[in-house]
Amino acid sequence: MHYGGDYNPEQWTEEIWHEDVARMREAGVTMVSLGIFAWSRLQPAEGEFDFAWLDRVIDLLHEGGIAVDLATATASPPPWMHERYPEILPVTAEGVTLGPGSRQHYAPSSPVYRRLAAELVTALVERYADHPAIVMWHVNNEYGCHLHADYSDNARDAFRAWLRERYGSVDALNDAWGTAFWSQRYTSFDQVLPPRAAPYSHNPGQLLDFRRFTSDMLLECYLMEKEIIRAAGATQPITTNFMGAFKPANYQEWAEHMDVITDDAYPDPDDPESFRDAAFQRDLMRSLKPGTPWLLMEQVTGALNWRPTNAPKAPQQMAALSMQCVGRGADGVLFFQWRQSRAGAEKFHAAMLPHAGTGTRIWREVTELGAQLGSLPELPSGGADARVALVMDWESWWAVESPDHPSNVLDYVAVLQRWYRALHRRHVMVDIVPPERVTADAYDLAIAPALYLLRAGGAEALSTFVAGGGHLLAGPFTDVVDERDAFLDGGFLTRLGPALGVTIEDFGALAQPGGTGQSEAPLAGPFGTVAGTLLAEEVVLRGATPVATFAGGRRDGDPALTEHAHGEGTGWYLATVPDEQGADALAGWALDRAGIAPVLEGLPVGVEAAQRGSVVTVINHGSEPAVVDVAGRDLLRGEPVTEVHLDAFGYALVDTAASDTATPDAAR
């Protein structure tokens, strides 16, 4: 179990470094991410490097037994760079150049930025590749975090090259984008621009490709650094830190290039349900690279600085959320940052070592958590043996949130999270995967909400899943367009129709609550009467039978949920987006029908259960004490148990396969 945080020694004097290492040992820190924003200190001028200080820090950490995740420091270019090369700066769609003075002020496609980043990384890796303290390379930081897209001339040139590569000819591009519409037909790639500010809607194919391009440019930066590190002979794992469901970067594509998935997560402690969305994020990370552990690279010990209002974490909440990561496959928990800054934009951001020092609750909790993580035996590797797949797809996300749709207020991740929360309340383990990863061997139930853009391979996988015995619950606005964001011949649900036994004639957008027009579509079925939102589609039965019908509104009496036997499996189609209670009822019904067992039954509200191989983690996110029946070896207390008592934010990790597992009778 790795434990530690971002360490920014360049903000402190050498005297403090010595104290830091001593305190890190006291806190049980095993690893720090070093020098993430140290470029201006490492390279005071072009061609001039200063590594002497970093040598001393790394040696000091090494002597103290603290391993180093060495950052390449390329996320915040130093002032000399924009002074000499202003063309590295990114530009917004409106043509505003984003200046320096913050961080991430570089155009990812800028050849000058890339050359200078490569020079820094080359110098760093040549110096430290063999240093025994270095256990991992931390490339850049949160690619795309503040700069979601760049529209500069660098981007323009790179976008044209990217499109040439993708389409080969301008005719193929015209065909893919449907440029016959609105007189957009190009006769040369040199006429194509990033989707900069325009009088009205952009071409959807162009928007989608620009999203792909933006993700690819960031990934190219990562791969450039990774290749430099490997070429220098470094053998340590290489990673960059993700940000959960982060729209600009297609992590499902990026994952294969990460030796370890690492993630940064900042759930809002003011939101009593945010632990479920945090669990969604952990499960997404675990699902990106199945069977391998992942690391929580950043979280906060207490209050943040960047929300409009920044509530502190409640006592023990930080430890509870840390154990949620461990229970869901993480092999380490780290923080931003080790020592609270004295100056700068993040001085109010809590840290492992607070500004107020070691006599604080945060410090006590930090040292306790370090000791607990250090006491854990090796846990089963990442897998959760989930039998439920929640289908999430970045390209579909990009396309479904493009403008000019029947409903332009559909928030893709919010819809996914609503389903996820329903499954989480039922203590069922879930993998979050693209459609191509859904197989009947791996899963019994797949839920695919709003899978608007469906690639041929994804359609094939989902159909084969049903034919092979799986239960597919497809939500509305699914299988509408192909990978170009264009309709296919033959209407909608053209690929999944046979497995679902329905087609769609109209999407039936609903008004937003409080607006004029019908905003809710009640549906009645075996799960009771629940509310649908956003869409109430007109379903045409092509072999399926209705399980639930709309009860009122413009689709009164029409099918709202249908069922179709296909091969050995079942295809369900849901013609509306259920609200929170609706998703809850429907998820319960679908889980029953698919025969999915929870990790544990009968848990009090607010108690979470997660499975990692034979280890069951239970966490009480509520404020009332709870007792949970679970038999096995309590790994933190080192004793056999048949039940565990959890105070507010209390947790237990129970190995249910341990040889000294107590039986309920023996324990009595």
Which residues contribute to the site for ligand GAL (CB under 6 A)?
141-142, 145, 264, 266, 298, 300, 304, 336, 346, 349
Question: What is the distance in angstroms between the CA of the first residue and the CA of the last residue of the chain?
Answer: 34
Shortest reach from residue 131's CB to ligand GAL, in Å = 23
What are the angstrom distances between the C-alpha of 157 and each of 93, 117, 224, 414, 547?
15, 20, 19, 35, 53
Tell me the torsion sign for CA atoms 461, 466, 469, 475.
positive
Tell me the torsion sign for CA atoms 54, 57, 63, 69.
negative
Shortest reach from residue 143's CB to ligand GAL, in Å = 10
368 is a catalytic site residue: no
580 is a catalytic site residue: no
Paired strand residues for 627: 645
- Residue number with the shortest CB distance to ligand GAL? 336
**Encoded tokens for 135:** 């256990």
Q: d(Cα 635, Cα 661) in Å, to the nearest integer? A: 11
By beta-carbon proximity to ligand GAL, the closer residue of 265 and 560 is: 265
Paired strand residues for 332: 2
Q: Which of 14, 94, 142, 460 is catalytic?
A: 142
Non-local (6+) Cβ contacts of 198 within 8 A are none
Q: Give the phi and the psi of residue 198 in degrees, each rounded to 5.
A: -140, 165
By beta-carbon proximity to ligand GAL, the closer residue of 142 and 431 is: 142
By beta-carbon proximity to ligand GAL, the closer residue of 2 and 387 is: 2
Shortest reach from residue 101's CB to ligand GAL, in Å = 15
Shortest reach from residue 313's CB to ligand GAL, in Å = 13
- Residue 564's nearest CA partner among 546, 583, 539, 591 is 546
Shortest reach from residue 324's CB to ligand GAL, in Å = 18
By beta-carbon proximity to ligand GAL, the closer residue of 346 and 629 is: 346
By beta-carbon proximity to ligand GAL, the closer residue of 87 and 346 is: 346
**Encoded tokens for 262:** 């690492």
**Encoded tokens for 289:** 């690279």
Shortest reach from residue 8's CB to ligand GAL, in Å = 9
Q: Which of 225, 298, 401, 520 is catalytic?
A: 298
By beta-carbon proximity to ligand GAL, the closer residue of 264 and 479 is: 264
Q: d(Cα 411, Cα 394) in Å, to the nearest integer? A: 13
Shortest reach from residue 49's CB to ligand GAL, in Å = 23
Non-local (6+) Cβ contacts of 572 within 8 A are 471, 472, 473, 474, 500, 547, 561, 562, 563, 564, 590
Tell me the torsion sign for CA atoms 125, 128, 131, 135.
negative
User: Exposed, middle or buried: residue 489 (CB in 10 Å: 0-12, 13-18, 19+)?
Assistant: exposed
By beta-carbon proximity to ligand GAL, the closer residue of 334 and 416 is: 334
Instruction: List residues with catalytic annotation.
Output: 142, 298
